[in-house]
Structure 1
Amino acid sequence: MFKPLSITLAIAAAFPHFAAAQEVERVIVTGSNIRTTQKEGASAVQVITAKELAATGKSSVADILRSISANSGNSYNEQYTGSFSAGTSGLSLRGLGQQNTLILVNGKRVASYATAQDLKETFVDLNSLPMAAVQRIEVLKDGASSVYGSDAVAGVVNIILYKEFKGTETSVQVGSSTQGTGQTEKSASLQTGFGNLDEKGWSVVFSLDALKRDKLQQSDVDWLAGSDFRNQAGGSRTWVPTNYVNGDATQLLGGRQGPLELLPYGDITPGKTGQVLAYNPSPYKTLIPGIKRVHSSLRGTLRLNEQTEAYADLLYGYSQADQTFAAPLSVSSGLRAWNNGKQALDTIPVLLPVGHPNNPTAKPLPFTATLFDLGPRMKQDKVDFFRALAGVKGSYLGWDYDVSLAHSGSKLKETVQNFVNRYEFEKVLADGSYNFADQSKNSEAVRNRLRLSTLRPAESKLSVVDFNASKELADLPAGPLGFAFGAQWRREEMDSNTSTAVLSGTELRPAINIIKGTRDVSALFAELNVPVVKDLNVNLAARADHYNDFGNAFSPKGSVRYQAAQWLLLRGTVSRGFRAPSLPEITNSTSVSYGSVLDPRDPVAPNQARGVTNITAANAKLNPERSTNLNLGIVLAPSSSTSVAIDYYRIKTKGVIDTETAENIIATEAQFPGKIVRDGQGRILTLYRQYANQGDRLVSGFDIDLRQSFAAQPWGKLSLNAQLSRVLKFEQPLALGEAATNGAGTNHFGSIPKWRGVTGLTWDYAAFTSTLNWNYVDGYQQVSNEGERVKPVGTVDLTVAWKLNPATTLSLIVQNLTDKRPSWDSSTSFFDYTQSDPRGRFAAVKLNYKF
C-alpha cells in the first residue's frame, strides 16, 4: 500500500537505461535543503501518494499516518477521551512521543495544538489538517534536527498539498459499523484548480473536505457493555461501588436507585464479603467521540518572471468532538476544590451533619455517594486551526532561494455540563435539601442549583520567518558540489487557561492544565553535499539554535550514500539532536489531573484501578534532552519488479524529561512518603510530581520495506508492498538512579510492541482496482499483571474501486474485514486504545466524480 521512495529510486538506479529515458526534475526531498536529481538520499523516506491514500479507504490524514509501521507506540487519537486534548490525533515515530515527531505542511511548520497532551507534550493535531488537498506524504524516518530543529529527533512528516490541479473532483462517502453499534460516518470533499503555471503564469488550488461521525459508547459494544471481564486473565467485574457510609462499601446509604444494583462485594473485589451498591460504568464511557470536522485549503502561485515565483497558502480547519466525559460526580472523603490564592487544592468535608434526613446517627457521618440525578458529565471541544503563509522563491546569480513568512494558530473552546457547584453542594449538605439516599425525591430546582457548566479556553500561536538558499559551488569529477544555508526565526506562544469556576474554587474535583509561556527561537543552518568519487556521496549538515528560555543547542549531521552496484545501495547517517523542554515543562504552569493506579495497599479494592489526583509542577531548571542518532541501510533491487530495503536505527537520548511513574512512587512510598497523600481509610488521594531530567533512553530497531510487482497478464496486474518495523530496545530507568529497563515488547513505557507491519496487495483488472491490506500489531508483556501477555492482533482492510466511466468511480471499503476484536489488556480494563480500535467491522461506499 505504501511505497517507499527509497525502493522506487533504487530500481531506477539499478536500471539506468530506464531513468535516462526520462527527464529527471531536480527536487528537494524531505530532510535536505539541496536540490538534486538524486532523490534517493542517505536517509530512508517513505512516500505515500494520493493514489495510495485513496486505496487505504481511510478518511483522514491521522488514520493514514497512524497505520504506518514506524508508529511504534505512545501516540494518541480521539480514543484518549480522558485527555486535556480530547478529540485530537498525533503521531509518535519510534515510540518517542508526539513531541519528537515534526509535522510539516508543504515543508513549513504549523502551530501546535492549543494545549498539551498528557500535560506536557506539545504536538500538531493531525485532525486539524486537510485530507482532500494532499498530493503525497513524505515520512523521513531519521532524525533531522540539523535541518529542522528541536522536534525532529524521531523523524519528520511532510504533508505536501497540490500546487496545481486541473478540473474539479468531488467525492461522497457513507459508512457504518456492521456490529449494530449505531455508529455511522459520512464524509465529502471538493478539489478544484484554475490556471496553469507554464501557460498562464499562475495557478490556484482550492479544496474542502468534511467529516461527521457518531459517538461510540462502551455500552454500544456488546462484548464491553457488561463491564464484566472475570473470564480474562487478571480481569474483574469493573462495576463501581458507591452510596455507602463510614468508608465501608457494605454499609449502604439507601437502596437501589438510578443505575445502582445490589451485588455481592466479592464479585467486584475477590475475597470481600457482604453486599454493595454498584453501577455499570459502560454507559458513561465514550470510546470514540462524535466528531464534526471541516478543512479547507487555498493555495496560489504567481510566476513573476522566468526565475521567480510568489506563493501563498491558507489553511483552515474546524473540529468538534462531543463525548460523555464521565459518570455523574461521586462525592467522598477525597473531594477537592482549587484554591487559587494558595495554588493548591482545598479538601471539602463530605459529612452528613447531625439532623440530615440521610443521617440517623447522633454524630456527623462520612459518606460516599454518586449524584446520578444530575446526569453524566458531558464535554464538547471545539477547535479553530489556521495557517497563513506567503513567500517568494526563485533563482538569483546561480542561487536557488526560498523566503517565507507564516503565522499559524490553534484555538480551543472546551465546554462541560453537569459538573457540580462546590458552594451549592456545601449549602444543600448543610441544610438537608438534597436527598443522597433517594435522589428521586430531589426537586429539579435543587438539581439545577448543583449543576455547573463551564468554559475552558486555550490558544497556541506560531510565527515563523524562514530563509534558505542553495547552489552548486563547483563541478567535481564525480558530480556537482552542492551547498545550502539558511536561517529561521520563530515565536512560540501558548496560553492554556482554565475556567473561571475553577479559579474561584466553585468547581468540585477540578482538572487544571494552566500553561502560559512564550519563547523565541533563532537558528542558522548549513548543508554541504560532496560527491567524493563516482557513486559515493557525503552530506554534511549543521544547525545552531538559540532558545531565549534555556540557551543554545548545536546539531551536526553526517551521511553517506554509496551506489555499490547497479542493484545495490548502501547508506548511513550519524547525527546529534535535541528536544527543548516544552513550554508546559519549563514555563509557568499548573497541572491538576486525574488518573488511576493499582495500589496493593488499598483497603477497599487492591486489585482494581483507583482514581487519584496528580499534581504536577514545572521546572525552570530543566536542560534539553540531547540525542545521538545512527542509521544504517541497504537497498537491493535485483530486478525491475523487486526491491527490498532494510534500515537500522539507534537513538540514544540523555536527560529524558519526565515525571516519576505512579507505580514507582507507590513502590517507594516508605522512602519518600511526601509524594503520596492518603485519606483516613488509607486510600490514595494525591500523587505529587515534578518534571526532571530523569536519565537516559536507548531506542533501536530496524525497518524492512518490500516491493514486488508482476507484469500485466490477461488476468490483470498484481503489486505487493510491505513495511515491517521491529523494535529491538526501548530502554530507560523506571526511576532516577535505577538501571535501565528494556520496555520493548512490554507496556513499561506505554505499549511498545516489538513488531508492527503493513502489507498491501493490489490487483488491477479491467475497470476494477482492489487493494487488500493486512495490519499487524505484535503482542506485548503486561507488566502490572505478571505472566499476562497481550495477544497480537492482525486486521484486514479491503477496498474495491470500480471505474464506471472516465469520470466516475464507485468504491466499496471495508475496514477490519474479519471483525477482529482488540486484545485483552488488564492494565486498561479491556484494551489499549493506542494500539487498537473497538469499532469492529466498518463498511462504507464512496462515489468519486471528476469534471
Structure 2
Amino acid sequence: MHHSHHPVPRRLALSAIALAVAALAGQAAAQEAVQEAAQATQESAQATQQATGATAAQQAAPVATGEVIKVEVTGSTIKRVAGEMALPVSSVKADDIASAALTTVADLAVSLPSSATNAPSSAGAGTNMNMRGIGINRTLVLLNGRRMVNEPLSNGFVNVDLIPISALNRVEVLRDGASSTYGTDAMGGVVNFLTRRSYKGLELTGQVVRPEASGGGREHRVSVLGGIGDLAADGWNVYATVDVHKRSKLESADRPELTNPALLASLGIAPKAASGTYAWPANVFSPSTGITGNPYYASGCLPPYSVPATRNTCIQDANYVLALPANAQAHFFAKGSIKLPGDHLVTAELLHAKEHIETQKPPTTTVGFNGAVARITPDSPYYPGGSAGVPAMAGINGSPLNVSWSVAELGPAIAKDEQKITRVVVTGEGTIGQWDYRLGGIYGRGKRDSYFVQGYLNGARLQAGVANGVLNPFGTQSAAGLEYLKSISADGGQIRHTTNRYYGTDLTLTRELMQLGGGAMTLALGAEYHRDANDDRALDGVIDVPYQNRLPSYAEGSRDISAVFAELDLPVTADLSFNVAARHDRYSDFGGTSNPKASFRWQPMKQLMFRGSASTGFRAPTLFDRYGYRLPGATSLSTSKWDDPVLCPGTMGMAGTGTAVPGANPLLVCNTALPIQQGSNPEVQPETSRNLTLGVVIEPVRNLMVMLDYYDIHVKDSIGQLAQNAIFTNTAKYADLFVRNPDGSLAYVRNTVDNLGDLRTAGIDVGLSYAFPKASYGQFKAALDGTYVTRFENQTEKDGPWISNLGRFGSVGSGNVSASPTYTFRWKHTLRLSWERGDWFSQLTQFYNTGYHDLNNVPAQFHRDIEPYSVWNMTVNYKGIKHVKVSLGISNLFDENPPVTNSNSTAYANNIASPIGRAYNARLTYEF
C-alpha cells in the first residue's frame, strides 16, 4: 500500500471553510420562519411520495409575505421551488412508513421498488441498500445530506439498521447517479435519510409484531422522543430520541412447511444432499479400502440429530440453519439548533447506535485448518467393533479411519456480531453578503466485534481427542470426554475486531448571478475533504476453529479524498431550464478524476413536463477491496454443496452426480462444502460509469399523475467477485481458480476481489398516483411505484461475452459477498391504496415482484422457475383520542410463503421474502 499526498486541494477546502467560519461574527437577522414554511411546503408537495411531478411546483404556494419558498432537494446543492427539478426524486414521509406496516428502516429499504436490498442475514453485516441491483457499494447512503461511516468489515456500504426510525422526517430517494454533488461513487443512486428539523414536546411509542404461526420472529420496538425550545420563536431547539428494537430468532423447525423434505420434493425441489458428510454419529472413510459408511446406518442413525442418507452414511438435521437470526438495535439521536445574530443557524447532531446479531450454524465439525482430517485407530475404544460397543463395519480390516464428526452433543455453533457507530456533525448555514453558505464538519466511527458464544472448539485439539481415544465421535461422551471438550472450548473468545473511521469538512457557497427569462441564474461552488481509515484484526482465538479456518491477521488502510465542485442552474425561460455541474476528486492512492453532469427540465404546458440527465462516475475500490486481509489458504467454506471437479468428477455444475476417484474420501470431495479463499486484491483498480436518464411527467386529468423515467447505467471495469455458482457451474473455464496441495487435494478455490469487466443495466421507473374527489365517506387515494428492467448484464472478464442476470441468478456476487449472486426482477412495484376520513386513515399496501429462473444446478427433473411473489400489508390508524395515535396492522395479509428454490440450503428464497408469514402489528403513540 502507498499513500501519495496532495496538499493543495486539501488546503483549498480547509481554507475556504475557515474563511466562512471567520465571517460569522458580524451578521444579523434570521429568517427561521421562512425556513420552517419551506419545510412544510415541501412536505405538502410530496403528499404522493413523488416530489418531482408536474403539479408539485404548483403546490409550492407563496408564504404570507408573497415570497416563493425555495428548498434543498436531494441531488442538487441549489435551493429551488419544490418540484422544479430535473432529477427523479421520490420521497417517503415518516407517517407513510408506519402506514405501510413497516417497523424498521430495514423494512423500508427492502420495500423500495428500485432496490435489490438484502435484509439482515446470518452473516451479521446488517441491512444494505442496493439501488438498481448493481451492487451495495454503488449506492450512496446519506443522513441529512452527509455521508455515514460504512459498515466496518467490508467498508463498502452503510448498515441502515443503525438509523433510528423515530428521528426521521422523511426519506428521499434519488434514482440517478449524483456524482457531481455528493461524490463520484453514487452510481446506482442516493438514499438520503432526513431527520426532523426540530421538535418540541414529549412522545412515547410502543410497537409489537406477533407472527400468527408459533415459534420465533416476534418483534418489539419502544421509542421516546422529547425536545425543548421553539426554533422559530425562541431561536433555539434541542431534541433527542431513544429507539430500541428487538426481534427473536426464527428456527427453521418453526416453519416445517419450508424445510420438510417430503413437502419440498412434492413441490419439485431437488434434495439438498444425497449423502452425509459431517454427522453424529460420525461418518467414516477407510483410505486403504475406499469404504465409506456409518456404524449406526443400519439402525437408522440417531434421530433427530441425523437420518440415513446414501453411501451408507448419515446426514445431520437441516434445521440447525436459522430461518431468521435474532437481532436487536438501540439508537440514541440528539440534535440541537441555535440562531446566531444575523442570518445564521448552527446545528449539532449526535448519533450513537449499536446492533446485535446472533448467528447460528450447524454444530462444530472435525474439519481442520488447511484440510487436516480427524482419524481414529483400532487403539481407540470407540473404533467400530471395539470395546466401547460401537457397531462393527464390514470390510474396514482394522485400518485407520478418517472421521467426519459433527459435535451435535454441544448443540449448534452460535456466535454474536456487534456493530456500534458514533457520528458527530456540526453545521452552519446562512448568508454573507450576496452568498448563501452551508458548511460542516463530521466525525464518524464504526466498530464491529465478533465473539464465539456456544459450541465452538479448537479443531486441532478436537482431532487429537479423537485420535487418542478420549472422545467418542459415535455417541455420548464420558465424563472425561465432556471435560476434554470443555477444555478445548473457544466459547467466550473474540473472533475479530474491526474499526472504521470517517471524518471531514465541507463548504458550499451559492448566489444568484443574473436574471434569465425563467428566473435567476444561480451558481454553487463547493469544496470538501474527508479521510476514510479502516483496520481489521482477526484475533488469535480464530486459528484452527472450524467455520473460521484462518490465521490471525491484521490489515489496515486509509485514504484521503479532496474535492472541488461547481453547479450552475440556468432557468432559460419559465418552461425550460438547464443545470450543469462538475466535480474533481483527488484520491491519495489513485490520483485525480473529473466528472461532469448535465440535466434539463422542459414543461411546455401545465400538464406535461420532460426531464433528463447525463453524468459520469468514478468509484475507487473500498479499503477492504484493496488493503484488506489476504491469507495464504482458505478463509471459509462454500455456502452450497458441490463436487470437486477433479477428485469427484460428475456432471459439471450439478452437485451430487460425481464419483470419488480411488483414494479420495467421498465425504470430503463429493456433494460437500468446499474451501474458499476470499479477500482483498492489491492490484484492483477503480471503476468508472456513465449514467443517462430521460423522463416525462404527465397530468392528463386533475389529481392523476403519471411519471415514466428511463435509465441507462454502464459500469466499466466493474469491481467484484464471481458468484460461487458461476465458478462451480463452469469448472472447466475456471480451472485455474482451483488451487491444490502437493498431494492433489483441494487447498481452496480462489475467489478474491478483481476487475471483472463491464456491467450495464437499463429500465423504466413508473410512478402513478391518483386522488379521488373528497366525499362524505372520506377520500380514497392510489399510488404505484414500480421499476421495469429491460436489460441487466455483465462480463466476468474484460472484453468477455455478456451474460444476462435479468430474471435469473447472475454470475457476479452482490457487493463483497460472492455467495449472494446478483439477481434482477423484470418488474417490481409497491402499490398503495388508502382511505382517509376525519381521524381515521387506512392503507392497503402490496409489494410485488415477477418470477425468475431458479439456480438449476440440479438434475433436469428438478429444473424449475420461481413464481411471481406478492405480499399485502394492511393498517388502520386512528387519532381521535387526545394525545393518542393508534395503529393496527397485518403484515402478509394472505399468509404467503416465500417461493421455494433450488438455490439455498434453506430451500426457500430468503433473499426476496420473509419466512415469518402472517403477522399482527400494533403501534401506540402518546404525545404529552
Output the TM-score relative to the length of structure 1.
0.91
* Structure 2 partner of 1:468: 508
* Structure 1 partner of 2:135: 97
Q: Deviations over 1:615-644 (max 9, x none)?
A: 134222322111000000100113341111
In structure 2, relative to structure 1, the CA distance for the partners of 1:509 and 1:134 (3 Å cut) is closer
Across the aligned residues of Structure 1 and Structure 2, the Cα RMSD in angstroms comes to 2.7
* Structure 2 partner of 1:50: 94
| 1:760-799 alignment runs, 5 A limit | 760-785=832-857, 787-799=863-875
In structure 2, relative to structure 1, the CA distance for the partners of 1:508 and 1:568 (3 Å cut) is closer
* Structure 1 partner of 2:350: 314
CA contact (8 A) 2:521 2:571 kept: yes
CA contact (8 A) 2:456 2:545 kept: no
* Structure 2 partner of 1:849: 926
1:25 aligns with 2:69: yes
* Structure 2 partner of 1:271: none
Secondary structure of residue in 2 paired with 1:448: helix
Secondary structure of residue in 2 paired with 1:28: coil
Aligned-pair CA distance for 1:348: 2.1
Amino acid at match of 2:466: L
* Structure 2 partner of 1:421: 458
In structure 2, relative to structure 1, the CA distance for the partners of 1:506 and 1:754 (3 Å cut) is closer
In structure 2, relative to structure 1, the CA distance for the partners of 1:805 and 1:666 (3 Å cut) is closer
Residue of structure 2 aligned with 1:688, choices 734, 750, 754? 750
Rounded Cα–Cα distance in structure 1 between residues aligned with 2:736 and 2:703: 64
Aligned-pair CA distance for 1:509: 4.6
Aligned-pair CA distance for 1:448: 0.5
Residue of structure 1 aligned with 2:368, choices 336, 357, 382? 336
1:251 aligns with 2:298: no
Aligned-pair CA distance for 1:7: 5.5
Amino acid at match of 1:214: S
In structure 2, relative to structure 1, the CA distance for the partners of 1:312 and 1:489 (3 Å cut) is same
In structure 2, relative to structure 1, the CA distance for the partners of 1:822 and 1:564 (3 Å cut) is same
Amino acid at match of 2:244: A
In structure 2, relative to structure 1, the CA distance for the partners of 1:557 and 1:200 (3 Å cut) is same
Aligned-pair CA distance for 1:227: 4.4
Secondary structure of residue in 2 paired with 1:619: coil
* Structure 1 partner of 2:421: 385
CA contact (8 A) 2:326 2:359 kept: yes
CA contact (8 A) 1:457 1:499 kept: yes
Aligned-pair CA distance for 1:694: 1.2
Secondary structure of residue in 2 paired with 1:93: coil
Which runs of 5 or more residues in structure 2 are unaligned? 1-42, 385-396, 658-669, 812-821
Rounded Cα–Cα distance in structure 1 between residues aligned with 2:732 and 2:52: 59
| 1:290-329 alignment runs, 5 A limit | 290-324=326-360, 326-329=361-364
| 1:637-716 alignment runs, 5 A limit | 637-666=699-728, 669-670=731-732, 673-677=735-739, 686-716=748-778
* Structure 2 partner of 1:606: 656
In structure 2, relative to structure 1, the CA distance for the partners of 1:357 and 1:366 (3 Å cut) is same
* Structure 2 partner of 1:351: 375
Amino acid at match of 1:770: S
* Structure 1 partner of 2:103: 59
In structure 2, relative to structure 1, the CA distance for the partners of 1:817 and 1:130 (3 Å cut) is same
* Structure 2 partner of 1:341: none
In structure 2, relative to structure 1, the CA distance for the partners of 1:493 and 1:16 (3 Å cut) is closer
* Structure 2 partner of 1:285: 321
In structure 2, relative to structure 1, the CA distance for the partners of 1:469 and 1:236 (3 Å cut) is same
* Structure 2 partner of 1:759: 831
Q: Deviations over 1:538-582 (max 9, x none)?
A: 100111111111222211100011111111110000000121111
Q: Is the deviation greater in 476-485 or in 232-241?
A: 232-241
CA contact (8 A) 1:215 1:323 kept: no
Residue of structure 2 aligned with 1:560, choices 596, 600, 603? 600
Amino acid at match of 2:329: R
Rounded Cα–Cα distance in structure 1 between residues aligned with 2:63 and 2:235: 29
* Structure 2 partner of 1:802: 878
* Structure 1 partner of 2:785: 723
Q: Is the deviation greater in 837-846 or in 33-42?
A: 33-42
* Structure 2 partner of 1:451: 489
Q: Deviations over 1:15-52 (max 9, x none)?
A: 89899998642111111001122543111110111221
Q: Deviations over 1:512-543 (max 9, x none)?
A: 79642111111111101112233111100111
| 1:213-232 alignment runs, 5 A limit | 213-228=247-262, 229-232=264-267
> When you count strand as a share of all residues, which structure comes out higher?
1
* Structure 1 partner of 2:166: 132
Rounded Cα–Cα distance in structure 1 between residues aligned with 2:353 and 2:499: 14
Residue of structure 1 aligned with 2:402, choices 358, 366, 376? 366
In structure 2, relative to structure 1, the CA distance for the partners of 1:656 and 1:249 (3 Å cut) is farther
Aligned-pair CA distance for 1:375: 2.3
Rounded Cα–Cα distance in structure 1 between residues aligned with 2:171 and 2:347: 20
Rounded Cα–Cα distance in structure 2 between residues aligned with 1:5 and 1:244: 58
Rounded Cα–Cα distance in structure 2 between residues aligned with 1:150 and 1:535: 30
Rounded Cα–Cα distance in structure 2 between residues aligned with 1:310 and 1:842: 44
In structure 2, relative to structure 1, the CA distance for the partners of 1:411 and 1:449 (3 Å cut) is same
Amino acid at match of 1:94: R
* Structure 2 partner of 1:342: none
Secondary structure of residue in 1 paired with 2:177: coil
1:501 aligns with 2:549: no
1:596 aligns with 2:639: yes
Residue of structure 2 aligned with 1:441, choices 475, 478, 486? 478
Rounded Cα–Cα distance in structure 2 between residues aligned with 1:392 and 1:705: 36
Q: Is the deviation greater in 589-598 or in 379-388?
A: 589-598
* Structure 2 partner of 1:270: none
Secondary structure of residue in 1 paired with 2:265: coil
Residue of structure 2 aligned with 1:821, choices 879, 897, 909? 897
1:165 aligns with 2:202: no
* Structure 2 partner of 1:394: 430
Output the TM-score relative to the length of structure 2.
0.84
Aligned-pair CA distance for 1:139: 0.5
1:569 aligns with 2:609: yes
In structure 2, relative to structure 1, the CA distance for the partners of 1:673 and 1:731 (3 Å cut) is closer
* Structure 2 partner of 1:340: none
1:236 aligns with 2:271: yes
Aligned-pair CA distance for 1:846: 1.3
* Structure 1 partner of 2:661: none
* Structure 2 partner of 1:748: 810
Rounded Cα–Cα distance in structure 1 between residues aligned with 2:825 and 2:473: 46
Q: Deviations over 1:229-276 (max 9, x none)?
A: 2223342155861322226785214463463444252xxxxxxxx543
Q: Deviations over 1:483-538 (max 9, x none)?
A: 101111111111122121225x5667526796421111111111011122331111
> How many residues are aligned here?
819
Q: Deviations over 1:276-334 (max 9, x none)?
A: 3222211x11122222211111101110023111110001112112232x111222xxx
Rounded Cα–Cα distance in structure 1 between residues aligned with 2:313 and 2:92: 55
CA contact (8 A) 2:166 2:241 kept: yes
Q: Deviations over 1:411-432 (max 9, x none)?
A: 1221113212134224313321
Which runs of 5 or more residues in structure 1 are unaligned? 266-273, 338-345
CA contact (8 A) 2:125 2:151 kept: no
In structure 2, relative to structure 1, the CA distance for the partners of 1:616 and 1:262 (3 Å cut) is closer
CA contact (8 A) 2:641 2:674 kept: no
Amino acid at match of 1:54: A
CA contact (8 A) 2:642 2:673 kept: no
Q: Deviations over 1:393-417 (max 9, x none)?
A: 1100111111111101111221113
In structure 2, relative to structure 1, the CA distance for the partners of 1:514 and 1:254 (3 Å cut) is farther
CA contact (8 A) 1:226 1:280 kept: no
Secondary structure of residue in 1 paired with 2:337: strand
Aligned-pair CA distance for 1:727: 1.1
Identity %: 26
Aligned-pair CA distance for 1:66: 1.7
